[in-house]
C-alpha cells in the first residue's frame, strides 16, 4: 500500500511566468550553466553568491534583469497545492527539490507551509536529483520504505532514478494527470475526515 507522496517543487507545485523567458534569456543562460547551477543546488555556494555571480557576469545594461530575477519567487499552482493538502490528511507528503539555500524562504513567502510534512532541499544535504541518495533521504523523512513511495517530478531523468530505488514514479505532465494518480488517496482522506467528524458529533451528544 502507498505510504507517502514525494513531490518535486519547480515545474509541479511552483510555476514561473514563461512569457518573460526570452527577455530573461541572458540571465538564464548564465544562471543555469550546468556547473554553476550544480554548485548552487548542492550548497557549494549560497543562493546569494550564485545570484551575485550571475549579476556580475552580465553587461552593466542587463544587470537590472538579474535584480528582477532575484526578486521573484514564482507562484504556487493552486490545484496541485490543494491536492497535496488533501493527500497529506492520509499519508505523509514530502517535497523534494534541487533547490538553493533560499528555497525554504521562498516556500514561506508563497504560503506553502501546510502543503507538506517536510522538505528535502538538495542545497541542505549536498546531494541533488537524480543521485540515489536524495531519494533515500526523502523516504526516511517520510518514514516509509522507498517501495511505498509515490514520486512525482516533471523531469523524466529524476523519475527514472526514483524508480531505480524501488519507488513508483510519475512523470508529471499536468494537474489532471496527477489528480488521476492521487484520487484514491484523496477519497480515503475524505472518508477518514467524515468519520472523524461523525465521531466528534456523536461524542458531543453522548
Report the C-alpha gap between 150 and 57 in whole angstroms: 40
Distance from C-alpha of 92 to C-alpha of 118, rounded to nearest angstrom:
8
Q: What phi and psi values does residue 7 have, to the nearest 5 degrees?
A: -130, 135
Radius of gyration of the chain (CA): 19
- Unique residue bearing C-alpha cell 501546510: 114
Looking at residue 188, what is its pLDDT? 67
Q: How does residue 191 score in pLDDT terms, banded at 50, 70 and 90?
A: very low
Q: DSSP string spanning 137-184?
A: HHHHHHTS-GGGEEEEES-HHHHHHHHHTT-EEEE---HHHHHHHHHH
Pairing of strands 14-15, 75-76: antiparallel
Residue 69 has a pLDDT of 96
Residue 39 pLDDT greater than 60, yes or no: yes
Phi-psi map region of 74: left, alpha, beta (phi>0 left; psi -120 to 50 alpha): left
pTM of the complete model: 0.89
Nearest to 91 by CA among 133, 150, 170: 150
pLDDT of residue 189: 55
As a residue count, the chain comes to 206
Percent pLDDT > 70 in the chain is 91
pLDDT band for position 185 (50/70/90)?
confident
Angstrom CA distances, 54 to 31, 58, 63, stand at 6, 7, 9
The residue that leads in pLDDT, 206 or 154, is 154
How far apart CA 66 and CA 58 sit, in angstroms, is 8
For 178-188, what is the mean pLDDT? Answer: 84
Residue 200's pLDDT band (cuts 50, 70, 90): very low
Ordered by start, the domain boundaries in the chain are: 4-14+75-187, 17-71
Beta strands in the chain (DSSP E): 4-7, 14-15, 75-76, 93-97, 118-121, 149-153, 168-171
| CATH H superfamily, domain 4-14+75-187 | HAD superfamily/HAD-like (3.40.50.1000)
Per-residue pLDDT at 68 exceeds 60: yes
Mean pLDDT over the full length of the chain: 91
Contacts of 174 (CB under 8 A, 6+ apart): none
Name which residue leads in pLDDT, 77 or 204: 77
Q: Check pLDDT > 60 for residue 97.
A: yes
pLDDT of residue 183: 87
Q: Whose grid coordinates read 468519520?
A: 195
Amino acid at each position: 500500500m502507498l505510504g507517502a507522496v514525494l513531490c518535486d517543487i519547480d515545474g509541479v507545485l511552483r510555476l514561473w511566468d514563461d512569457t518573460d523567458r526570452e527577455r530573461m534569456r541572458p540571465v538564464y543562460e548564465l544562471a543555469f550553466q550546468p556547473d554553476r547551477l550544480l554548485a548552487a543546488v548542492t550548497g557549494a555556494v549560497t543562493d546569494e553568491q550564485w545570484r551575485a555571480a550571475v549579476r556580475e557576469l552580465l553587461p552593466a545594461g542587463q544587470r537590472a534583469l538579474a535584480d528582477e530575477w532575484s526578486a521573484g519567487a514564482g507562484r504556487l499552482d493552486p490545484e496541485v497545492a490543494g491536492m497535496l493538502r488533501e493527500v497529506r490528511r492520509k499519508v505523509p507528503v514530502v517535497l523534494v527539490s534541487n533547490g538553493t539555500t533560499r528555497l525554504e524562504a521562498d516556500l514561506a513567502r508563497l504560503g506553502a507551509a501546510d502543503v507538506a510534512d517536510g522538505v528535502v532541499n538538495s542545497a541542505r544535504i549536498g546531494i541533488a536529483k537524480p543521485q540515489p541518495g536524495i531519494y533515500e533521504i526523502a523516504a526516511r523523512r517520510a518514514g516509509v520504505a522507498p517501495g511505498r513511495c509515490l514520486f512525482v517530478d516533471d523531469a523524466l531523468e529524476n523519475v527514472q532514478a526514483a524508480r531505480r530505488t524501488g519507488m513508483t514514479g510519475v512523470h508529471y505532465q499536468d494537474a489532471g494527470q496527477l489528480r488521476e494518480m492521487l484520487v484514491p488517496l484523496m477519497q480515503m482522506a475524505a472518508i477518514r475526515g467524515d468519520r472523524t467528524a461523525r465521531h466528534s458529533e456523536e461524542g458531543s451528544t453522548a
